[in-house]
Amino acid sequence: MGRRRAATDPNYPRWVWFAAAAAVAILIVGGAFLLRTLLYPAGSGEGGTSAGNGGTPSAGEPLPQDSPAAVAGASPCLSLNILTSLENADMVRAVAAEYAAKPRSVDGKCVTPTVSQEKSGIAGGKVAAQFPGVPAGDRPSVWLPDSSAWLRIAGERSGGSTVPQEGISIARSAIVVAMPETMASALGWDSKPPSWSEVFRMAEDQDAWERLGHGDWGKFKFGKASPLVSTSGLMALVASYGAAGGSLGGLDGMDLDAPSLVEKVRTVELGTSHYMATPEHFLWHAREADDAGMVSEFLSAVIVDEKSVWDYNRGVVSEDGMTKQSGPAPKEPLRAIYPRDGVHVADNPAVILDGDWVGSQQRLAAQDFLAFAVTEQGQNVVRASGYRTIQGELDTGVAETGRYAETLLPLPLPKAEALVAVQDSFPEVRKRARALFLLDISESMVQGPGVTKLQRAKDAVLKALDHFSGEDEIGLAAFSHVGDGPLQPGIVSPVAPFRTNREDLIAKLNGLQAVDATPLFEAVSRFASDQAKEYKDTFINTIVLLSDGKNDSTHPGDLSGLSEQLSHQNHSTPVLVFTLAYGPDADVPTLLEIARASGAHYYDATDPNRLEEVLGELVTSF
């Protein structure tokens, strides 16, 4: 199989290089540091595992019983640090709590498990780099991503010699298409599931609701997470290739570099309304829209794991993927749609890290914990946490709330080489962006000692530009005014193909100077309206707003009117206004509302030192 440009090419977009380097670093660190399969390997990656010496027990067959110690070992306890993904962190914490609730004795010591979480595609980099700056005692002994895909990608990027591509599976969660129930019913998908090709064709027809007599639902809005950091995003792209190539389970035999196939995938990706870093971002905004009485204003369908559907339907959402908020159930629940040609299944594999900080006692503690996870008692926790057990069993209440299918038709997880090729293709096949960077250049941007906020903003935008390709259309505008004077300078580099205006945009960015006031409402209203007039449905149409203050202008405009305008535009010509607050004086509530009304996401960089990091995450959303 051929390869595209390597992620180490200096001309490759920097944001992609960082994502690839996260896995490549495993090879660099060398030495004794490697990943090692514990206890027994998963037999088939997604959906399969070996148990003891006899394979996975079938549904209904007895699982091993937990054997806690008669008396807990002596203190101080052994610290067992576990690194998980965002998606499965709640489940892993629940298993750890149940494990710790019984007396444990490992080499005569009690055991205290602690769980930390990170985006799947980033965790491997932290593992590989041996957690620089983190005290040895705080580094994890166990890595438990939510899919074996990340183990395979890490192994392939490191040459396949030091990283196992399988681990011990402790839980399963299908990757599904989630839709508001009324929409699923309108398509008949609640009773007759579509194929993946039919899902993607529906997403490409953005006027589908109008054609089906539901014009009040606006355009068909189809969301996907980033395949660089999220399992559901990666599996969505795998499904795009499978549908385009005519075989959902046959990626390993395809020429993934074939121009005809790549062009078909690009066509499939045109149905994406926009990408976000994690599926939790989509569900957070879907809940906001549901609370406002019209979930269709934000979402028609999104590819997520089924456990996230269960969370959403019981009123649990997260703005950042880490901190969960619980509330009443939504007015309209989501329906989990299982395409009839099969689904990928996140298998939640665990491996032990063999770093020099993982001593013999920590390794024994890890073995003890993972042995517990596949006992009847451990699997009871898995089931109650919204997952399928390693035997495929479900909690009845979870399945009812999450609208789970009783049985699955699992798709095989592609081999490592195919997964890497698919992930590396994302910059080439993703839907293009039509983005206007809109900068607040009020006087407060240059106040205070040291590097000014304006200079930090320029530096951050400059680095964010590495995300884009020549086919993206990018522009730059800025806003302020003096006294009662007009908004200035306005558009400084018109939105145009990036291949032709990159140098002009950078020069104009570097030349921006602070002025005086902050006509926030006027600026967003004007430029969102302009973007809507030039709306292109083959692009993700967006504004990236950076502001450190609040509207302090006497110019016309208010938040209520602006929100109404953005919501109206979102119905037929969606212009996503991603807002980024930087500096402690930023008007966070206003920026939150602007993003919400437009169907986009708010990002917090009120700590100016995080501006580049946060803006880098933001631009992965389109």
Instruction: Tell me the per-residue pLDDT of 101-125, one tens digit each, with 9 for 90 and over.
Output: 999 999 999 999 999 999 888 887 6
555/487 Cα distance (integer angstroms): 9
pLDDT of residue 227: 93
pLDDT of residue 56: 67
Question: Is pLDDT at 478 greater than 80 in this prediction?
Answer: yes
Residues of the chain with CATH 3.40.50.410: 431-621
pLDDT of residue 188: 96
pLDDT of residue 449: 77
513 C-beta neighbours (distance < 10 Å), count: 11
**Tokens describing residue 491:** 């558009």
Max Cα distance, the chain (Å): 80
CATH architecture of 431-621: 3-Layer(aba) Sandwich (3.40)
**Domain 173-345+420-426 CATH assignment equals 3.40.190:** yes
The helix (run of H) or strand (run of E) holding residue 602 is strand 602-605
pLDDT of residue 315: 97
Mean pLDDT of the region 13-31: 36
Question: Is pLDDT at 360 greater than 90 in this prediction?
Answer: yes
Return the SS3 of 363. helix
Task: Tell me the percentage of the chain whose pLDDT exceeds 70.
Answer: 89
pTM: 0.85
Question: Is pLDDT at 327 greater than 90 in this prediction?
Answer: yes
Q: Cβ contacts of residue 445 below 8 Å, gap of 6+?
A: 452, 453, 454, 457, 514, 548
198/192 Cα distance (integer angstroms): 12
Question: Is pLDDT at 300 greater than 70 in this prediction?
Answer: yes
Question: Is pLDDT at 433 greater than 90 in this prediction?
Answer: yes
pLDDT of residue 30: 34
Mean pLDDT of the region 11-21: 39
Q: Nearest-CA neighbor of 222 among 273, 175, 285, 185?
A: 273
Beta strands 274-276; 488-497: pairing state: unpaired
Specify the higher pLDDT residue, 267 or 57: 267
Amino acid at 345: V
pLDDT of residue 125: 66
Please provide the average confidence, as pLDDT, over all residues in the chain.
Answer: 87
Q: Name, of 11-15, 32-36, 236-240, the range with top average pLDDT.
A: 236-240
496 C-beta neighbours (distance < 10 Å), count: 15
Q: Where are the alpha helices (DSSP H) in 54-194?
A: 89-101, 120-128, 148-157, 181-187
282/318 Cα distance (integer angstroms): 10
Residues of the chain with CATH 3.40.190.10: 14-171+347-391
CATH topology of domain 14-171+347-391: D-Maltodextrin-Binding Protein; domain 2 (3.40.190)
pLDDT of residue 116: 95
The helix (run of H) or strand (run of E) holding residue 222 is strand 222-225
pLDDT of residue 128: 66
Lowest mean pLDDT among 55-59, 236-240, 503-507: 55-59
